[in-house]
Structure formats: structure tokens, C-alpha cells
Structure 1
Amino acid sequence: MAEPMRVLQRPKSLTTLAADQIRSRIVRGELGLGTPLSENALALELGVSKTPIREALLQLKMEGLVSIQPQRGSFVFEMSMDEIQQLGELRETLEVTALDRAMARNPEPIATALTVIVDAMTDAVAADDCGRYRILDADYHRVLCDHSGNRYLADCYAGFAFRIQALRAKLATDPALNAMSLRDHRDLRDLIKAGDAAGARTLLVAHMRRTIVDYEASMAELAVVA
């Protein structure tokens, strides 16, 4: 009997590879909000021509991570506190809805998935690996939406998830905030595992709103220093 044909894996294009690299640097905080993005410098640094860099920046603009301004160039996105508040409201609406739906369907699968992430988050905090913790934090909240049973909700959340990661980069370097965040994520997992939908919803909302408050405090500190 002939062996079944294997599905060929297409290699990533230079544009995709460039977008992955630039996106990763933005969400890790290596390219801060408002940072100018030089096509020439990025092309030289990544060892490609300007064409895939230009196409990558267009892709990242569609993801909300890059602002392309005529006659000025490309920049990492920036947001006012009012815009951040609005983004927080949208995030809260989607995540609470996702949590309610996931728990109504079956809380066990989401609790199991979150346990794996919480264990990894605990290791990251113990190792003071802020970058790893930030990635796991994003994974945790994405799991909530992925278990909602509504792919349109999950797709909507994915549309701005990278922005949230980039904003979180300002907070994830504070060990005290990471420890508090870990406690929230662990407690939320426990409430979901226990089937306490009301308690889980209350904690999730408090967690997301405190993140906005912490970010606002961080911005105020930077303004004082400046």
C-alpha cells in the first residue's frame, strides 16, 4: 500500500519573517511606543531588501502596531490614556463574555489549559524572566477567548491582542506587579476549576481594571521624570 502523501509546508516569506521580527520587538518593549521605524535600518539589520520591510510594516499597520504617516515615515503605535481606557473597555467586554460562555459550556477544559500556563508563569516569576512572563500572560487571556466556542469573538480579540502585549511591556518589568498578577491568574484558575462563574467574573474584571490603573500610574511617573 502506498504511503499517504505528506502535506508540504511552505517556508515563510521574507515579508512574514520580517513582520514576525518587528512585531516581536514591539510586544517585548524593545521598540517603544512612538519609536521611528527606518526601512533602511531594519533592512540592514534583518539582512533583507527594503521591499519585504515595507510590506511587513503595512501588515503591522493592519494589526494596529505601526502607524505610517505620509511625509514622516513609520512609527510604533502610540495611544492616549483615553484610547487605552476604550481599549480596556472592549477587552473587558470580550473577555467577560468569553469567560461566561466557556464556563457555561464546560469549565474543566479551560481550567486544565490555564493550569499549564499558571505553572509556567510561576516558573517565570521565580526566574525573574519578565519577557517570558509577559508572553504567558498573553497566552492566558487568549485561552479564555479560545474556549468561548465563538471563533468570531476569538478573532476579534486577536485583532488587538498584540497591542495589549505591547502596552503590558511597561508593567511586566516590575517584580511586585508580576507577583500580584500571578496571584490573580492563579486565583482565577481556581475559581474556574471550582465552577464559581460569578467569582471568576468579578476577579477577571478587577484584574483587567487594575492593569489600566497601573499603566496610568506608570505613565504619570514617566511624565514627572520627563
Structure 2
Amino acid sequence: MLKRTKSLTEQAADEIRTRIVRGDFQLGAPLSENTLASELGVSKTPIREALLQLKMEGLVSIQPQRGSFVFDMTSQQVVELGELRDTLEVAALRLAARRSGRQLVGVLAAIGVEMDRAVADEDGLRYRTLDADFHQAFFDHCGNSFFASCYQGFAFRVQALRARLSNKPGLNERSLGEHHRLIELLARDEVEAAEELLSRHVHATVAQYVASQDRTGDETAA
């Protein structure tokens, strides 16, 4: 049952968003207003309003005469999103390193320690939350509110896609190593090398997700 600290619409949006990002719903899965209303203990009105809000965030598709669905993306769309993410994150990293490099390194290092613990505990949910925090830090310290606003327009979709990969310990360990290497480069003020590493990191994630989509498609076809 939801508590009435925020509006019921906000609370419903928070809960549905969390479930989508966490991977509780399959991409493209239908979202029943009746079921969600029953599970969250509210009427259908705040659920309907929450779904409209999540549509604006790119997490929900509302199709006339059909209903609401978790967003889905083709392999090509994932590649295009990766290109946007690469361009924006690298630029944000460059600005953050220039404007508040020492503070950025401190924040990333603290997150890195927690990521180590999450991997050691095999806590995929905790790891991907910290992973999102790590990349968000570039925008928090870049000193450009428009960059941050643009990133928020697709950040939740990135997290949702990440959730479909981070249940694989081997990938988390590889990702963790790249995060620590990025911190080391920034600490030595090797910003250009850090930018190159970040770009490779983003595109590797895209490639891994596309490959996982292709395997799923093969299995479904079989």
C-alpha cells in the first residue's frame, strides 16, 4: 500500500519506473491499469496519470485501442541511443574534469568502493544502481544544466537496458575494471585518455546488449 507523502500519481510513477528499470517487466510487456491499481492500492486515475508521465520519460508506450506497454527498442535504436550517450557523456566528462576535476574524482572513487562491494556480494541490483550514479556524476559536475537535462531525457532507458545485462557477474567485473581505470586516468589528469576509455565503455555496452537481443531472437525463432 502506498503512503500519502507524495501525490498518488508521483508515488505510482516512482514504483512503476523502479519496476521497469529494475527489470521486473520485460521490454514491450503490457501494463494493466487494473493490475497496477490493485497492487499499489490506488484507483486507476493515478495509475493512468503515472503512465502518461512515464511515457514522457520514454519508459512507456501508450497505444490507442491497445493499452500501455513497457518501452522496447530495436537493435538499431539501441545503437543510436549509444551514439547519443557517447557524445553527451564524453562531453560532460570533459567539462566536469575541467571545472571540478578533483571533486569529480573523489565522488567517482567513493562510488567505485561501493561498486567493489556490490560485485563481491554478487548484488546485481546494487551494482547497476551505483553504475547509474557513476555516469550521472559526469553531469552533476559538468556545470551545464542543459547537458544534465538532456541526459535525463534518456537516462532511465539506459538503466533499464543495463538491467538486462548486469545480472551476468563476468560483465559486471569487466565493467568495474573499466570504471576504476577511468578514475585512475582522471586522477592523473589524463582527460583525453579517460574520454577514449569512456567512449569504448559505452560502445561495448551497446554491443553486448545488441548481441543479447540477437541471441534472444534466435532462441525465439528456434
Query: Do structure 1's residue 189 and structure 2's residue 186 form an aligned pair?
Result: no
Size of the alignment, in residue pairs? Answer: 217
The amino acid of 1:22's aligned partner reads I
1:204-223 alignment runs, 5 A limit:
204-223=198-217
| 1:66 counterpart residue number | 60
| 2:137 counterpart residue number | 143
Query: Do structure 1's residue 101 and structure 2's residue 99 form an aligned pair?
Result: no
Query: Do structure 1's residue 28 and structure 2's residue 22 form an aligned pair?
Result: yes
* 1:102-129, Cα deviation, whole Å (9 max, x unpaired): 1122310100000111111100000000
- Sequence identity (%): 55
SS state of the match for residue 106, structure 1? Answer: helix
Give how far 1:151 is off. Answer: 0.8
The amino acid of 1:96's aligned partner reads V
1:57-136 alignment runs, 5 A limit:
57-136=51-130
Distance in 1 between residues matched to 2:83 and 2:148, nearest whole Å? 16
Structure 1 unpaired stretches of 5+: 1-9
Give how far 1:221 is off. Answer: 1.3
Counterpart contact for 2:111–2:130, Cα < 8 Å? yes
* 1:164-200, Cα deviation, whole Å (9 max, x unpaired): 0001111000000000000011110111111101110
Distance in 2 between residues matched to 1:16 and 1:23, nearest whole Å? 10
Query: Do structure 1's residue 37 and structure 2's residue 70 form an aligned pair?
Result: no
Give how far 1:40 is off. Answer: 0.2
Distance in 2 between residues matched to 1:211 and 1:154, nearest whole Å? 21
Superposition RMSD on alpha carbons, in Å?
Answer: 1.0
The amino acid of 1:71's aligned partner reads Q
SS state of the match for residue 68, structure 1? Answer: strand
Normalising by structure 2, report the TM-score.
0.96
Normalising by structure 1, report the TM-score.
0.94
Distance in 2 between residues matched to 1:215 and 1:179, nearest whole Å? 16
Moved over 3 A (4+): none
Distance in 2 between residues matched to 1:193 and 1:69, nearest whole Å? 48
